[in-house]
Chain A
Amino acid sequence: MTDAKRPQRNKLSEQEAIERAKQGDAGAFQFLYDLHKRRVYSLCLRMTGNTASAEDLTQEAFLQLFRKIGTFRGESAFSTWLHRMAVNVVLMQLRKKNLPVVPIDETTEGEDEGTIRKELGAADSRLAGSIDRLHLQRAVDELPPGYRTIFVLHDVEGYEHNEIAAMIGCSIGNSKSQLHKARIKLRDLLRVNRAEKAGKR
């Protein structure tokens, strides 16, 4: 394909697009949206488990970003800025709906430990070195909201425990222990899924 025919937006760098968006260029806004839409939407969808909410939150996160783009000076990466904003938008929404952003220990502690103990002996039902991505996505969506938040922020998005603790207002120790429980819960869900699949064969 010749340069003349190739879409113009492919030639833009993110930095150029940011500068052009500050001037009100529609194409630059769309370029930035296209560049980051999957990551932001996936984050919103994983954390809410609901398509309609994820669409609203994605729009809200980009809207907040574009409203403030004039203040972006490039001290941090644009993507870091955007993703942090998206996380804040989602957490605010979860709080508005009174959904737990931190798991409630009291109701799950005993149950989880029992599950873990029980499963420890079942060495023959390991995940066998591979996880289907679609199954993992479904299992994450089945996690209780509080566990899901911690798991998505740490294991999917790559935030550190101290960052998560600051974002959701819990201790670092709490973030660590809840992440552990979320992983255990996921393991159970994936193993049940695998057992069901094997049973159908």
Chain B
Amino acid sequence: MNCLQFENALSDYLEGDSTSEQRAHLNSCSACSGLLADLSLISSEASSLREFDEPSIRIWNSLEAQLRREGLIKQPSRSLQPDFFHRWRTAWAIPVAAALLLAAGIKLYQPAKIGDNQPVAKQHIPAAPAVPVVSAEDKEIMNTVASRPPAQVAAYRNDLAQANSFIRDAQEAVQNDPNDIYSQQLLMNAYEQKQMVYRLAVDQNNEDEQ
């Protein structure tokens, strides 16, 4: 068998149909064994392209809108926005609510000003879970608020612990599915929540100093 004959039968060889003549030729011809090795490699690596590309979110947006137009999605239309934005909005509600609660908490625990006839309500702040404040940034922020009334300090500690817990959960979700856009968004929101706690603490301190 010569090289041309071997090559003409190469497809069958790669499909698993080999003859003793072909095997003998391969043993004696480095060019043909090189060609076979290269083509086998190309063929085996090709399957790695099967899920290689990530489609744009535009496709789902258009698809969902079309499914609704055709009545294939039968749920009442919240809007034609994709689920991504619904989830995003919901997720945003968490840090915003946390910030509002935090702000409300700070206001309630501010010392009564002179001339303020309203007594300071005796609000009960749930005890912060025994989650230690570990990071250097967390320690710094707790130092920033250390001079405030104990209830405010406890509220900050509680909010930081919640933000850290939110971040841990979101990180776990991202680790479980690194390509999941919702998990990525959740993690961004978690960091935003913590950033808000920091910002409120610093802003409140600046106000106190003025």
Partners in one complex: yes
Contact with A63, one of B3, B39, B43, B66 (Cβ below 8 angstroms): B66
Contact A5-B34, Cβ < 8 Å, known A29-B64, A140-B49, A180-B11: no
Q: Is A164 in the interface zone, CB < 8 Å from B?
A: no
Q: Is B58 in the interface zone, CB < 8 Å from A?
A: yes
Q: Is A197 in the interface zone, CB < 8 Å from B?
A: no
**Does A1 contact B53, Cβ atoms closer than 8 Å?**
no
- The answer for the CA separation of A13 and B7 in the assembled complex, in Å, is 47
Contact A187-B58, Cβ < 8 Å, known A24-B74, A39-B51, A123-B31: no
Secondary structure of the A contact surface, majority rule: helix
Contact with B along A123-140 (1 / 0, CB 8 A): 100110111010011001
Instruction: Give B49-94 interface residues, CB cut-off 8 Å to A.
Output: 49-56, 58-60, 62-64, 66-67, 70-75, 83
**Does A63 contact B11, Cβ atoms closer than 8 Å?**
no
**Does B173 contact A136, Cβ atoms closer than 8 Å?**
no
**Does B48 contact A133, Cβ atoms closer than 8 Å?**
yes
Contact with B43, one of A25, A116, A126, A183 (Cβ below 8 angstroms): A183
Q: Is B1 in the interface zone, CB < 8 Å from A?
A: no
**Does B31 contact A67, Cβ atoms closer than 8 Å?**
no
Using CB atoms and an 8 Å cutoff, list the residues of chain A in contact with chain B.
Answer: 1-2, 5-7, 10, 23-27, 29-30, 33, 37-39, 41-43, 45-46, 54-55, 58-59, 62-63, 66-67, 116-117, 119-123, 126-127, 129-131, 133, 136-137, 140, 151, 155-158, 176-177, 179-180, 183-184, 186-187, 190
Using A41-B59, A177-B11 as known contacts, list a sample of 20 further A-B pairs with CB atoms less than 8 Å apart, ordered by residue number in A: A1-B172, A10-B177, A24-B73, A27-B83, A30-B64, A38-B52, A41-B54, A54-B55, A58-B59, A120-B3, A120-B32, A120-B35, A121-B31, A126-B38, A129-B41, A136-B49, A140-B46, A140-B49, A155-B47, A184-B39
